[in-house]
Amino acid sequence: MEHRKPEKAGNGATQGMPGKPADSDKPGWANGLKQLYNSVVDEPLPESFKDLIERLDDAD
């Protein structure tokens, strides 16, 4: 089985994924911003937020 890297399309996208640039085509800050966003999304919801949401739900 031969393993090859995907060829790049003319717009900088990898073949088979039109319009999506390869990671190497992104500026350095884009990867840092994506990592920061993912770290925030993965954080658990604080208890104080859970309590507030519960109180707001009960008010309805």
**Count of C-beta atoms within a 10 Å radius of residue 14:** 17
Q: Where are the domains of the chain?
A: 23-59
Mind listing the pLDDT tens digit for each residue in 16-52? 456 666 666 888 899 999 999 999 999 999 999 999 9
Residue 53 has pLDDT above 80, yes or no: yes
Contact between 22 and 13 under an 8 Å Cβ cutoff? The reply is: yes
pLDDT band at residue 11 using 50, 70 and 90 as cut-offs: very low
Closest CA to 40 of 32, 50, 29: 32
Residue 12 has pLDDT above 50, yes or no: no
The angle formed by the CA atoms of residues 31, 33 and 37, to the nearest 5 degrees, is: 115
Token look-up 């900088």 returns 12
Enter the tokens of residue 16. Answer: 């088979």
